[in-house]
Structure 1
Amino acid sequence: MAARPFAFFDLHVVRATTLSPGFARVTLGGPQLDGFGHGGRDQRIKLFLPAAGHSAIAVPRDADDWWTGWQRMHPAERAVMRTYTIRELRRAEREADIDFALHPHPGPAADWALTVRPGDPATLLGATQDENAGIGFHRPDGTDSVLLAGDASALPAIAGILAWLPAGTPVTVLAEITHPDDRQDLATRADARTTWLTPTADDPQPLLTALRAHPLPGTSPYAWVAGEASCVRALRRHLVTERGVDRRHITFTGYWRRHASEDTLIQEAIAAAA
């Protein structure tokens, strides 16, 4: 029988660190990470945390049909669920880092990241194979360079992609952060040029402004774009209509939506499924 592509991993907090004004990092560990699949790049996982007032993480354990079971649970009892990127996996130490972008009005996951203590529980729903459906970055044949563009929510994925790219790959990175001190050392073997951007009153969407002003790398680039949904759509539209980039050479993902919490998006998904 073939192994199931996804599984639940019960872990515990090893340490929690505030990296900068806009980022916190929580390191999770445990022996179950031995079976965790991680192909690098923008590897997505579901993070489950105890509901308010609860110590246990209540989530259906059938990884093949967890979504149906989770919907049926009472919202006050089921685990808090959020989608994140694995910032780094260290198999030898059985440790995985998850970075949390901190907003002026943080939600339950960011609050958890700022108050969590070593030993506290966390559960991941993740892949069991290194190459898996949780990876969105797939560079097509025939492309000769890479464009990475995203806001703070996409920075962990951008870092993972840069760490994975082969040596010498021409890469242009446009990274929007909330505070100048949120800049990070993005280790890579690629030939990467990074432009750091911060929103201002005069330019609340500096990613689009910067993309319009930047030449694209190479002659046939692959573009990976992620962040706030409306901004991502505008970036993709610009690449296709104004730059002539092949639609098949663009991966775009709305990680969040302005004026909508992830709980709102989850309820919309549940209503749509119903």
Structure 2
Amino acid sequence: MSTVTASPFRFFDLVVAAAERLSPTMIRVVFAGPALARMESAGRDQRIKLFFPHPGQDAPVMPNDDGTNWYPAWQALDPEVRGIMRTYTTRSLTRDPDRLVVDFAVHGEGGPGSRWALRAAPGDRLCVLAPVVAENVAYDFRPPAGTDWMLVTADETALPAVAGILAALPVGVPVRAWIEVAYAGDRLALPTPADAHVTWLVRGTDAPVPEAVAAAELPGGTPYAWVAGESATVKAVRRHLVRERGFDRGAVTFTGYWRRGTTEDQLLASAENA
């Protein structure tokens, strides 16, 4: 007799409780709602799906599904009407009161997430697909046993994930991190119990991430690398770490958060047609 495993993800209808500008590029939005009591997070680089309304809608149009069969149900809706899906990171999930915090990297009116975050105000409605179990498949930061030190690279789109990763690390673990941002004012505090050395790189002023990492003197011992941001940059860093630095391929987690010149809608369409 076959056993059907329930999906660890569910839809959550939430409202904005507060929004604030953290830096020239980052906007923090705090969400509330009674359903948040069921939401869980692994911390670190926990991915969630946000669904934005189209212009003229006061809330995203979503499928009649609780999240157990969410993707085909969402895909079956009219693209001109259904909630606009984008992937973000849980910055924090807190209790008493239940609050979900998401940090948005905004770049003008270029995408639906940026447009929405720039105007976010208390009472605005959004739908989120998120886990209901803390241990789930939607996070990637998983250092192997025996790791001596960690290397992290990112741009501002992955900055919320870096913040979650650093906050969750054990006391004293050595970390070398390079983070590229659009403006000097985007350098945010990153509290961590780890022994972390963070190098901030301002785009157009400092060396890009691949060059900065290539020029660095790295610690000895067994490393683990987490590399995220623009797809071509991620590939360049991974190639350098594996080929020139001798990192084990299995000890390098790499994720393209975005691709220059390509929207997430185009990436979704490519995946669906593959």
Instruction: State TM-score, norm by structure 1.
Output: 0.94
The correspondence for 1:215, drawn from 217, 237, 242, is: 217
User: 2:108, 2:56 → 1: CA distance?
Assistant: 23
Q: CA offsets per residue over residues 102-137 of structure 1, 9 Å max, x none?
A: 224531111111102111111110111111111110
Alpha-carbon distance change, 3 to 268 in structure 1, aligned in 2, over 3 angstroms:
closer
Where does the alignment leave 5 or more consecutive residues of structure 1 unmatched? none
Indicate conservation of the 8 Å contact 2:106/2:118, yes or no: no
Deviates more, 1:148-157 or 1:49-58: 49-58
| Cross-structure match for 2:129 | 125
Indicate conservation of the 8 Å contact 1:170/1:218, yes or no: no
Deviates more, 1:185-194 or 1:28-37: 28-37
Q: Match for 1:187: what amino acid?
A: P
| Cross-structure match for 1:157 | 161
| Cross-structure match for 1:225 | 227
| Cross-structure match for 1:23 | 26
Q: CA offsets per residue over residues 139-168 of structure 1, 9 Å max, x none?
A: 101211111101111100000000000101
Matching of residue 260 in structure 1 with residue 262 in structure 2: yes
Q: CA offsets per residue over residues 195-223 of structure 1, 9 Å max, x none?
A: 000121785xx100110011223411100
User: 1:244, 1:48 → 2: CA distance?
Assistant: 41
Q: Match for 1:78: what amino acid?
A: R
Secondary structure at the aligned position of 2:268 is classed as helix
Secondary structure at the aligned position of 2:74 is classed as helix
The correspondence for 1:14, drawn from 12, 17, 27, is: 17
| Cross-structure match for 1:174 | 178
User: 1:42, 1:82 → 2: CA distance?
Assistant: 15
The correspondence for 1:103, drawn from 89, 98, 107, is: 107
| Cross-structure match for 2:240 | 238
The correspondence for 2:82, drawn from 78, 103, 113, is: 78
Indicate conservation of the 8 Å contact 1:16/1:114, yes or no: no
Q: Match for 2:165: what amino acid?
A: I
| Cross-structure match for 1:37 | 40
Number of matched residues?
270
User: 2:12, 2:118 → 1: CA distance?
Assistant: 22
| Cross-structure match for 1:271 | 273
Indicate conservation of the 8 Å contact 1:85/1:157, yes or no: yes
Matching of residue 186 in structure 1 with residue 194 in structure 2: no
Indicate conservation of the 8 Å contact 2:108/2:114, yes or no: no
User: 1:259, 1:4 → 2: CA distance?
Assistant: 34
Indicate conservation of the 8 Å contact 1:25/1:97, yes or no: yes
Indicate conservation of the 8 Å contact 1:147/1:217, yes or no: no
Instruction: State TM-score, norm by structure 2.
Output: 0.94
User: 1:4, 1:231 → 2: CA distance?
Assistant: 33
Indicate conservation of the 8 Å contact 1:52/1:76, yes or no: no
Alpha-carbon distance change, 265 to 159 in structure 1, aligned in 2, over 3 angstroms:
same
Shift of 1:14: 0.4
Q: Match for 1:150: what amino acid?
A: A
Indicate conservation of the 8 Å contact 1:71/1:270, yes or no: no
